[in-house]
Amino acid sequence: MVTIKDIARRAGVSPSVVSRALNNKYGVKESTKQLIKSIAREMNYYPNAAARRLVTRKSGMIGVMMADISEPFYTQIIKGMEYVASRTGYTLLFSNSYDNLEKTNVLQKMIVTENVDGLVIVGSNRQDTRFTGILLEKQIPFVLIERNSKNDKVNCIWIDNKKAAYHATKFLIEKGHKKIAHIAGNLQNQVTVERLAGYKQALKDAGVTESNRLVFYGNYLCEDGYHAMQEILSKQPDCTGVFVANDSMAYGALQAIHEAGFVVPKDIAVVGFDDLEFSAFTNPPLTTIRQPRYEMGKKSMDILTKILHGEAKNGINLCLPFELVVRNSA
């Protein structure tokens, strides 16, 4: 295992200088600091987390709160976070927030009981508003994923959901569909509102009348998409295209269409959102909006560790690119 002394010998400085440089302390020239950090990277140096905790009085833990960790949407986000954590010596502590931080005590537990150094919060419940002020007041670094906060002190990672939904709906319009339904998520979520707005804007720009804007609601679960699609088939039998707010609900929609004896995309075209791992293997493979979920997780930890190490300041706002992945369902 590479130690600070090994780096010191390579750089021609004392171990104390290496320690100060790696911890961004005073008394080290910027050129020397950059040389030491470069050598540390080349030698694959990882700080001793236990020793660092003794010196800094930090826990070395990052709290991660997600609505429901069992949901497949989160797998790539978690992998991205773990990639950075394994290289920076932090331990990730996961907890379900049930998409409502203010009605559960999970935030209090993370801060007080676990004494986390920072937080990554995934979710976009619009009713959760107070926690950002609490964390800023307590000076606990945090990053939000799936939110675009107007507060210039809050770190955010998101995609342009309205624009992505617009592209998905426009794709169906360009395929010749006149009556396109939308299976939306829970309106408490910021992403739901944005995707619904993108769907409506695309139809409006195409001259589709209000009467042909068909919106049905679920809660981002497979069974919600299944029941919503059954309702569409029953109430709007002339609907030929469906844009679904996430892939899990799209899977349910595909099953409902199949059970009703219709063929995708011959009778009804389906476009999802997220590009989950299973979406390339549905029958037929699902056309969907790809979110850069791995990058979301990786960037969240990059930002957080840089803030914790004094290499960055709060207020980082990243809008990551999305991609329409065209397969055989539309």
Q: Is the pLDDT of residue 52 over 60?
A: no
Q: Is the dihedral of CA 227, 74, 196, 177 positive or negative?
A: negative
CA neighbor of 102 nearest in space, from 71, 125, 69: 125
Q: What is the dihedral of CA 79, 81, 151, 308, to 10 degrees?
A: 180
The answer to whether residues 165 and 282 belong to one domain is: yes
Q: Please state, in angstroms and rounded to a whole number, the distance separating the CA atoms of residues 267 and 305.
A: 50
Instruction: Please report which helix (H) or strand (E) contains residue 144, including its range.
Output: strand 142-145
329 found inside a domain: no
Q: Which residue has the higher pLDDT, 108 or 78?
A: 78
94-126 per-position pLDDT tens digit: 988 776 666 556 677 777 666 789 999 998 887
The answer to whether residues 99 and 243 belong to one domain is: no
Helical pair 30-42 and 15-22, crossing angle rounded to 10 deg: 90
Q: What is the pLDDT of residue 174?
A: 96
Query: By mean pLDDT, which of 36-50, 230-244, 263-277 is the weakest?
Result: 36-50
Q: Which domain holds residue 220?
A: 161-290
328 found inside a domain: no
The answer to whether residues 165 and 281 belong to one domain is: yes
Q: How many domains does the chain contain in total?
A: 3
The answer to whether residues 16 and 133 belong to one domain is: no
330 found inside a domain: no
The answer to whether residues 182 and 251 belong to one domain is: yes
Buried b (16+ CB within 10 A) or exposed e, 92-121: bbebebebebeeeebbeebbeeeebbbbbb
Query: What CATH number has the domain bearing residue 143?
Result: 3.40.50.2300
Mean pLDDT of the chain: 89
User: Once rounded to an integer, what is the mean pLDDT over residues 287-307?
Assistant: 96
State percent of the chain over pLDDT 70. Answer: 91
Query: What CATH number has the domain bearing residue 11?
Result: 1.10.260.40
pLDDT band at 54 (very low <50, low <70, confident <90, very high): very low
105 found inside a domain: yes
Q: Are strands 323-325 and 287-290 parallel, antiparallel or unpaired?
A: antiparallel
325 found inside a domain: no
State percent of the chain over pLDDT 90. Answer: 62
User: Once rounded to an integer, what is the mean pLDDT over residues 171-185?
Assistant: 95
- At residue 242's C-alpha, the angle toward residues 261 and 266, to 5°, is 45
Task: Write down the number of H helices and E strands in the chain.
Answer: 12, 12
The answer to whether residues 278 and 311 belong to one domain is: no
Q: Is the pLDDT of residue 316 over 70?
A: yes
Q: What is the pLDDT of residue 101?
A: 67
CA neighbor of 9 nearest in space, from 48, 43, 47, 49: 43
234 found inside a domain: yes
- Going along 193-275, which residue ranges are E strands? 213-217, 241-244, 269-274
273 found inside a domain: yes
Q: Please state, in angstroms and rounded to a whole number, the distance separating the CA atoms of residues 313 and 327.
A: 41
Non-local (6+) Cβ contacts of 66 within 8 A are: 74, 77, 94, 95, 96, 97, 122, 123
DSSP 202: H
User: Once rounded to an integer, what is the mean pLDDT over residues 148-170?
Assistant: 95
The answer to whether residues 85 and 175 belong to one domain is: no
The answer to whether residues 26 and 76 belong to one domain is: no
User: Once rounded to an integer, what is the mean pLDDT over residues 249-276?
Assistant: 97
Non-local (6+) Cβ contacts of 37 within 8 A are: 21, 22
Q: What is the pLDDT of residue 146?
A: 92
Q: What is the pLDDT of residue 159?
A: 97
The answer to whether residues 113 and 207 belong to one domain is: no
pLDDT band at 21 (very low <50, low <70, confident <90, very high): confident
207 found inside a domain: yes
The answer to whether residues 249 and 104 belong to one domain is: no
User: Once rounded to an integer, what is the mean pLDDT over residues 147-159?
Assistant: 92
Q: Is the pLDDT of residue 25 over 80?
A: no
The answer to whether residues 85 and 166 belong to one domain is: no
The answer to whether residues 191 and 212 belong to one domain is: yes
Q: Is the pLDDT of residue 142 over 50?
A: yes
